[in-house]
Amino acid sequence: MKMMRLTVILAMLLNFGMVFAQEAENVTISIMVGASSGVDTVRQAAQQYMEQNPGVTIGVSEGSERTDDLLAEYSLFFDRQSGPDIIQLDVIWPGDLAAFMLDLNDYGAEEVIEAHFPAIIDSYTVDGKLLAMPWFTDAGLLYYRSDLLEKYGFDGPPATWDELEAMATAIQEGERADNPDFWGFVFQGRAYEGLTVNALEWIASNDGGTIISPEGAITINNDNAAEMLTRAANWIDNISPEAVVGFAEEESRNFWQAGRAAFMRNWPYVYSLANAEGSPVAGKFAIAPLPAGPLGQSVAGLGGWGLGIPSYSQNPELAADFVFFLTSPEMQKLRATESSFAPTVQNLYQDAEVLAANPFYNDLREILNSTVARPSDISSASSYRFISIAFFQAVHSVLTGERTAEEALEILESDLEVITGLPIASP
Ligand code: GLC
């Protein structure tokens, strides 16, 4: 069944690209890492591992940047039963990919899982099988230009979407005197998984539920959700550039990091890139929780990645050993200090060097307590992927003005009924 589903997913996602070439030697293992998941630190770690384990060769290849495209690449590996020994799993995938992955408990994971947040271990566990070791966690954050807030007389970051709109409008108006292309707010508005997280954050921040409730009812067609989507559609061409409906993480980061917008919604990895030498916004920004809607409170979408081993791997023991090495406290510390990838190892949030490199981790710990998860583990629902595609397409049609929020949510509700067979309820 799962195999069929993935083949269908593959057919739906035509824009994949093959970048992986398997190496033949026995002692060679391979890992594929998404282009914005810190490939350099993986190369460093592989180097270190190979020095410690002569005779082992680790091939590191770079996969797609966006999660949807990575999934399409993997579908091909699963279909033809060959590909990298280690792949990274988005926290939303374990349910959909369970049939294709090895259980890391069979390779000694119980000795190393204790250091990690139990909730994150749980999210990679399906029917008692540990499908991936947690590698880094993610939470949606508001990046803001602290220099500009000060320049325009604002005391601190916006606590509500109303405040964000007011600040974005004022800063944009002022900055346009010198920079006609300056905008207030950028986010991930492209029709893809990232929009699912952004829109879930908007809606949950206005007490509009989480698309499908934890109890397994479709709750998305409600007034609070419609109100937030209507609001977001109004951002376009007012405080957000029209191009934002094509932006994923990196497009938003490039736009904002170039100094072209006051606010940005993005993940923790942006922090070290935006603060790097030569970045136009280095030292001029800070991070805050995302704003609250009029009827709700601030929430951060929960993301993150683990490392797992597809069942086609010919070298699972060695691959598992390298997975445990990459996800170890030492390696997570390296990735946190060099690239601000948020650890899944609990005590790194008390580590002085990690905190010195990422002062925002003090807030992040609290933000991680107010996260909202996508409905990827509703046991009675069919593939999460189809739920998400229906959701982001509906939201995208509202952002582009093709449909009103009310129309889009009505259609989405019945699409989700067909896709999942779940009942409809209020959030
Ligand atoms: C980040 C998150 C991941 C999410 C993706 C959406 O990579 O970690 O969970 O699915 O963004 O674009």
Residue 312 corresponds to which tokens in the numbers above?
Answer: 């086609």
Q: Residues 194, 346, 299, 141: is their CA dihedral positive or negative?
A: negative
**What per-residue confidence (pLDDT) applies to 382?**
66
Half-sphere exposure at residue 72, Cβ-oriented, CA atoms within 13 angstroms: 18
What secondary structure, in 3-state letters, does 286-329 show? EEECCCECCCCCCCEEEEEEEEECECCCCCHHHHHHHHHHHCCH
Q: Whose Cα sits closest to atom 9 in ligand 1? A: 303
Residues 216-237, buried b or exposed e (16+ Cβ, 10 A)?
ebbbbbbebbbbbbebbbebbe
Q: Angle 137-339-194 (CA atoms, 0-180°, nearest 5)?
A: 45
The hierarchical CATH code for the domain 2-131+302-369 is 3.40.190.10
Counting from 1 in the atom list of ligand 1, the atom nearest the Cα of 37 is 7
What DSSP designation does 303 have? E
Produce one character per residue of 168-186: b if its CB has 16 or more CB atoms within 10 Å, e if not. Answer: bebbbeebeeeeeebbbbb
101: Cβ contacts below 8 Å, ≥ 6 apart? 89, 94, 129, 131, 132, 308, 309, 310, 311
- Residue carrying the six token digits 């934890």: 214
How far away, in angstroms, is 152 Cα from ligand 1 center? Answer: 33
Query: Tell me, what's the pLDDT at 380?
Result: 58
Atom of ligand 1 nearest to the CA of 137: 8
Choose the residue to mutate in 64, 67, 200 for probing ligand 1, maximizing ligand atoms within 8 Å of C-beta: 67
Decide: 386 and 415 in contact? Cβ < 8 Å: no
In single-letter form, the type of residue at position 202 comes to W
Q: Give every CB contact of residue 195 below 8 A, 6+ residues apart in sequence.
A: 188, 189, 392, 395, 396
Of 138, 190, 247, 372, which is best to mutate to test ligand 1, by the most ligand atoms within 8 angstroms of its C-beta? 138
Nearest residue (CA) to ligand 1, atom 6: 194
- Domain 141-299+374-420 architecture: 3-Layer(aba) Sandwich (3.40)
The token pair that represents 12 in the structure block: 């739906």
Alpha-carbon distance of 135 to 327, in angstroms, equals: 5
Q: From ligand 1's centre to the CA of 64, what distance in Å?
A: 13
Q: What DSSP line would sit under 14-49, residue for residue?
A: ------------TTEEEEEEETTS-HHHHHHHHHHH
* Full pLDDT tens readout for the chain, 427 residues: 344 444 434 444 433 333 333 333 478 999 999 999 999 999 999 999 999 999 999 999 999 999 999 999 999 999 999 999 999 999 999 999 999 999 999 999 999 999 999 999 999 999 999 999 999 999 999 999 999 999 999 999 999 999 999 999 999 999 999 999 999 999 999 999 999 999 999 999 999 999 999 999 999 999 999 999 999 999 999 999 999 999 999 999 999 999 999 999 999 999 999 999 999 999 999 999 999 999 999 999 999 999 999 999 999 999 999 999 999 999 999 999 999 999 999 999 999 999 999 999 999 988 998 899 999 988 656 689 999 999 999 999 999 999 999 999 999 999 999 999 999 999 9
| Ligand 1, residues at Cβ distance < 6 Å | 67, 90-92, 138, 193-194, 197, 249, 267, 303-305
Give the residue extent of every domain in the chain. Answer: 2-131+302-369, 141-299+374-420
- Give the helix ranges, DSSP H, for 215-309: 223-235, 249-257, 270-274
The three-state secondary structure class of 53 is coil
**Residue to mutate (ligand 1; options 36, 124, 197; most atoms within 8 A of CB):** 197
Distance 304 CA to ligand 1 centre (A): 6
* Residue having the nearest C-alpha atom to atom 1 of ligand 1: 303
Q: How far is the CA of 260 from the centre of ligand 1 (A)?
A: 24
Backbone φ and ψ of 265, nearest 5°: -95, 125
Element (H, E) at 332: helix 329-339
pLDDT at 381: 60
User: Which atom of ligand 1 lies closest to the CA of 196?
Assistant: 6
Q: How many CB atoms lie within 10 A of CB 110?
A: 10
Looking at the DSSP bridge assignments, the partners of residue 129 are 126
Q: How far apart are CA 193 and CA 203, in angstroms?
A: 15
Residues in the chain: 427
pLDDT of the residue at 27: 87
| Domains 2-131+302-369 and 141-299+374-420 belong to one CATH topology | yes
Residue 163 to residue 183: CA distance in whole angstroms: 16
Answer yes or no: are the C-beta atoms of 312 and 82 closer than 8 Å.
Answer: yes
